[in-house]
């Protein structure tokens, strides 16, 4: 027997689960599938130990999805983004510049939350929505677009007739492949190490990026852990260096990370496992096909700089939701899928390009280039209107760079 639905979401990562909550809260019938069941506890095998900094423009879509009231009590606010250049002969802060949200807004830049906790709250929200069927353990296998529907076959053999298929199935997206859409990929030979630390000095809601070589070392505030200030860390560097750091005995690792942090929060203590993530930039050639769209990492991947990745994904979702709501009778018609591509592709391309440039600047090793980077930071920061434009662009209110 064939099932029918308004929206079939392929992918139950953070983006796919948010999309299921958003479309479900808006009253659409939704089926969301993922072959890998979500891991919803920090200590379980395979838990995603990264954190996500949700920037201001992402909050309305989380609110409309019925998620923000669940997430807010666990979130650490980010009031100041501090950029430190430690590119001199010694790994010490030689230039520190603050971007304070108060310059452009009454609210913080954003709020930081652990990814495993996002999954826990999203799965709980889905259970409240009778019009959403979440099917962990089942994947998207193939699709056949037709005039009025897409016929989707799932990996358990189920046939689904959907008005719209949303590919939220990650950087090697099976939906993108089924649509025959190519993607352009940039590889940097870089990886990221993600983990959490405790420290004696309070972070004062300041998120700090320390630049030296190989990529940024970023500390993002977390709520206190066992009475001690805590932060999430993303440490980017060349692949072999990250492989070495990932297996270093803890005392040696703590000494190296404290030095790499330029001692900004005093000695750092490791309070989680270390997880390794490959770093690429990637952009799909198109964001839509017949009866289907691509969102999140299925559409674009960026290095984790300036908390852009998932925030771009929520901007995809906000645009798609608005279009679908204005065509409720058929949210998968060409008027929706084509408009979605037109609205998002240029904006996403500009952002992928901007973050690629920032990442390359952050990787430079030659002392002269490191000096140039420090000079550029100083110049951009010193002019108040330029600084405000950069902050608004970082939030998604304009294009970066
Ligand atoms: C170290 C690091 C730190 C980051 N920090 C931030 C941050 O602070 N702020 C921010 O905005 N972004 C951040 N990002 C980016 C953010 O984590 C990603 O954008 C986000 O996790 C990707 O989510 P996704 O749901 O698109 O992809 P994924 O998490 O990859 O989810 C894709 C899902 O699709 C599923 N799937 C695969 N095949 C199928 C199939 N056949 N059928 C159905 N489902 C399938 C997979 O099982 C998976 O669950 C960071 C990234 C990294 C690497």
For 60-73, the pLDDT digits (tens) are 999 999 999 999 99
CA distances for 279 relative to 5, 133, 214, 238, 282, angstroms: 36, 33, 12, 10, 10
Q: Is-contact 276 242, C-beta < 8 A?
A: yes
Give the gyration radius of the chain's Cα atoms.
21
For 313-345, the pLDDT digits (tens) are 999 999 999 999 999 999 999 999 999 999 999
Res 399: pLDDT: 38
CA-based torsion, 284, 289, 347, 395: positive or negative: negative
For 106-132, the pLDDT digits (tens) are 888 899 999 999 999 999 999 999 999
Q: Is-contact 104 388, C-beta < 8 A?
A: yes
Res 165: pLDDT: 98
- State mean pLDDT over 347-369: 85
Residue with tokens 């592709």: 345
Is the C-beta atom of 304 inside 6 A of ligand 1?
Answer: yes
| Ligand 1 centroid from CA 87, angstroms | 31
Q: Check whether 365 has a pLDDT greater than 50.
A: yes
Is the C-beta atom of 48 inside 6 A of ligand 1?
Answer: no
For 208-245, the pLDDT digits (tens) are 999 888 888 999 998 888 899 999 999 999 999 999 99
- State mean pLDDT over 163-173: 98
384 or 13, greater pLDDT: 13
- State mean pLDDT over 307-313: 87
Cα dihedral angle (333, 335, 341, 342), rounded to 10 degrees?
Answer: 180
Nearest CA owner, ligand 1 atom 37: 169
Q: Check whether 400 has a pLDDT greater than 50.
A: no
Is the C-beta atom of 140 inside 6 A of ligand 1?
Answer: yes
User: Is the pTM of the predicted complex or chain greater than 0.85?
Assistant: yes
Res 48: pLDDT: 85
| Ligand 1 centroid from CA 15, angstroms | 7
Q: Residue 281 forms beta bridges with which residues?
A: 186
Q: Check whether 24 has a pLDDT greater than 50.
A: yes
| Ligand 1 centroid from CA 374, angstroms | 32
Res 372: pLDDT: 78
Res 397: pLDDT: 56
Q: Check whether 396 has a pLDDT greater than 70.
A: no
Nearest CA owner, ligand 1 atom 53: 277
Q: pLDDT-derived band of residue 358, with 50, 70 and 90 as boundaries?
A: confident
Res 398: pLDDT: 44
d(CA 290, CA 149): 9
72 or 308, greater pLDDT: 72
Is the C-beta atom of 168 inside 6 A of ligand 1?
Answer: yes
Q: Check whether 401 has a pLDDT greater than 50.
A: no
Tokens of 107: 């609210």
d(CA 15, CA 8): 14
Ligand 1 atom closest to residue 141's alpha carbon, by position in its atom list: 41
Average model confidence (pLDDT) for the chain?
91
Q: Check whether 376 has a pLDDT greater than 80.
A: no
Nearest CA owner, ligand 1 atom 15: 309
Instruction: Cite the DSSP H helix spans in 115-179.
Output: 115-127, 174-179
Res 327: pLDDT: 97
For 52-111, the pLDDT digits (tens) are 989 988 999 999 999 999 999 999 899 888 989 888 888 888 888 888 888 888 888 899
Is the C-beta atom of 216 inside 6 A of ligand 1?
Answer: no
Q: Residue 289 forms beta bridges with which residues?
A: 292
Is the C-beta atom of 114 inside 6 A of ligand 1?
Answer: no
CA distances for 129 relative to 23, 41, 139, 214, angstroms: 10, 22, 21, 45
Is the C-beta atom of 10 inside 6 A of ligand 1?
Answer: yes
Tokens of 181: 């859409």
Is the C-beta atom of 282 inside 6 A of ligand 1?
Answer: no
Q: Is-contact 380 389, C-beta < 8 A?
A: no
For 173-206, the pLDDT digits (tens) are 999 999 999 999 999 999 999 999 999 999 999 9
Q: Which of 30, 59, 156, 297 to mutate to test the pocket of ligand 1 (most atoms within 8 A of CB)?
A: 297
């Amino acid at each position: 027997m064939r099932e029918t639905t308004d929206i079939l979401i392929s992918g139950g990562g953070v983006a796919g689960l948010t999309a299921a909550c958003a479309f479900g809260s808006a009253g659409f019938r939704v089926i969301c599938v993922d072959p890998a069941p979500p891991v919803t506890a920090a200590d379980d095998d395979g838990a995603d130990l990264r954190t996500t900094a949700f920037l201001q423009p992402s909050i309305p879509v989380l609110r409309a999805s019925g998620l923000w009231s669940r997430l807010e009590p666990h979130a650490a606010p980010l009031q100041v983004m501090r950029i430190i250049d430690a590119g001199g002969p010694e790994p010490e802060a030689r230039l520190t510049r603050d971007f304070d949200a108060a310059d452009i807004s009454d609210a913080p830049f954003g709020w930081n939350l652990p990814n495993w906790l996002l999954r826990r709250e999203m799965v709980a929200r889905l259970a409240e929505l009778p019009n959403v069927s979440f099917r962990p353990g089942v994947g998207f296998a193939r699709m056949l677009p037709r005039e009025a529907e897409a016929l989707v076959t799932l990996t358990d053999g189920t046939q689904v007739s959907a008005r719209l298929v949303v590919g939220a199935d990650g950087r090697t997206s099976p939906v993108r492949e089924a649509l025959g859409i190519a993607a352009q990929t940039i590889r940097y030979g870089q990886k990221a190490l993600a983990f959490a630390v405790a420290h004696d000095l309070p972070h004062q809601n300041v998120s700090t990026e320390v630049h030296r070589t190989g990529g940024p070392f970023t500390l993002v505030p977390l709520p206190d852990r066992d009475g001690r200030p805590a932060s999430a860390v993303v440490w980017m560097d060349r692949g072999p260096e990250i492989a070495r750091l990932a297996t270093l005995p803890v005392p040696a690792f703590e000494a190296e990370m404290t030095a790499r942090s330029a001692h900004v929060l005093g000695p750092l203590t490791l309070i989680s496992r270390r997880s390794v993530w490959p770093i690429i930039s990637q952009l799909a050639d198109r964001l839509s096909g017949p009866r289907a769209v691509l969102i999140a990492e299925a559409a674009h991947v960026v290095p984790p700089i300036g908390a852009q990745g998932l925030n771009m994904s929520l901007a995809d979702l906000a645009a798609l939701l608005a279009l679908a709501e204005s065509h409720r009778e058929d949210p998968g018609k060409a008027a929706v899928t084509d408009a979605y591509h037109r609205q998002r592709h240029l904006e996403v391309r500009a952002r992928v390009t901007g973050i690629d440039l920032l990442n390359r600047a952050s990787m430079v090793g030659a002392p002269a280039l490191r000096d140039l980077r420090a000079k550029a930071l100083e110049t951009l920061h010193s002019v108040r209107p330029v600084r405000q434009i950069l902050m608004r662009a970082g939030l998604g209110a304009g294009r970066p760079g």
